[in-house]
Amino acid sequence: MNKLKQYECTVIIDGGLQDDAIAAAMELVKKTISDKCGVINNVLEVGRRKMAYLIRKSSIGYYAHIEFDAAPTVIAEVERVFRYEENILRFLIIQMSSQLVEMRKRVEKYSVMLGSPEDQAEPAADASAKS
């Protein structure tokens, strides 16, 4: 009997695709995890962002972060499916340790999460215009 462990998966999908193709790729990611007996806890779709460097001649990626529970034997199968999907540029799956889970709970409880610098640029411009 395999005990379920907590994992995080960050996926970068080709940002040059149409919205429906990105949605289909996200459904493939979720379906792959679910079909391999994984339980998805949280999905955070960050959206399109400019990447630091080109990956397969693409400069924009669609970022998504998925938290799920699964048996350790399932991870290799999930990675194999992601590796052969041409719309997924990069992915990273890590196991959440108990210390990391505890630290994340404390951060969520006691601090405010700030967005990316791109998100902060617009409100700063609006504030300076009102002055």
Domain boundaries, the chain: 5-130
Average pLDDT, the chain: 81
Is the distance from CB of 27 to CB of 96 less than 8 angstroms?
no
Answer whether residue 125 shows pLDDT above 70: no
In contact, 77 and 7? CB cutoff 8 Å: no
Residue type for position 46: V
Q: What is the mean pLDDT of residues 26-45?
A: 87
User: What are the pLDDT digits (tens) for 45-83?
Assistant: 888 888 888 888 888 999 999 989 988 888 888 889 889
> How confident is residue 11, by pLDDT bands cut at 50, 70 and 90?
very high
Q: Which CATH architecture has domain 5-130?
A: 2-Layer Sandwich (3.30)
Distances from the Cα of 90 to the Cαs of 14, 55, 57, 100, 104, in angstroms? 9, 8, 13, 23, 24
| Tokens representing residue 94 in the block | 């890590």
Work out the pLDDT band at 118, boundaries 50, 70, 90: low
